[in-house]
Amino acid sequence: MFKIPNITKKNYLFENWIDFKKDIFTSEKLKLMNNNMSGLKVSKVIGCEIDIDIFEQAQKNISLAGLENYVELHNIDFTKLIVNEEPGIILCNPPYGRRIGDEQELIDLYSQLGDFLKQNCSGWTLWLLSGNPKLTRFLKMKASLKIPINNGGIDCRWMKYLIN
């Protein structure tokens, strides 16, 4: 049974975004609070975070949101993840060389990510947040959709890949 996540927090950082629509957020929040979600099937979210500090902060945020039964986070390199779930959606926000990583290391990371996905996640859909189109070429995959966004002042794209 689906337990409604903790949505009682008064303010979220995304409310400061230029394109934030308070009326839509309030409407969706009320829908969630007023609906009986019993019987709703929710897919598990599985994630990897190699940095221990970020991993621990993410675990804390998952717990604060009341989502510990739905989100499984591992403090491992993604190449160590064993994928044995039904095909689903992968969300990925790898470094793009602005704050983290030098370019050659990131080329290797993107190559490893593309290889891992093709070998282990056939049938899945990947949504990758990219702030460096040069690096995404090293996935050796073709995006089926690109959605431009601004992420912390960086021109980015949400890129959708169908993994074969």
Q: What is the C-alpha to C-alpha distance for residues 63 and 34, in angstroms, rounded to an integer?
A: 22
Residue 57 burial (CB count, 10 A):
12
Structural domains of the chain in order of their starting residue, each with its CATH number:
42-77 (no CATH), 83-164 (3.40.50.150)
Q: For each of the chain's 164 residues, which pLDDT tens digit applies? A: 556 666 666 777 788 888 889 999 888 888 777 776 666 677 778 888 989 999 999 999 888 887 888 888 999 998 898 887 788 888 888 888 666 667 778 999 999 999 999 999 999 999 999 999 899 999 999 999 999 998 878 899 999 999 98
Predicted pLDDT of residue 157: 94
Q: Are 29 and 6 in contact (CB under 8 A)?
A: no
Predicted pLDDT of residue 24: 92
Predicted pLDDT of residue 82: 86
Predicted pLDDT of residue 28: 81
Radius of gyration of the chain (CA): 17
Q: Are 88 and 121 in contact (CB under 8 A)?
A: no
Q: Is-above-0.85 flag for pTM?
A: no
Predicted pLDDT of residue 5: 63
Q: Are 128 and 158 in contact (CB under 8 A)?
A: yes
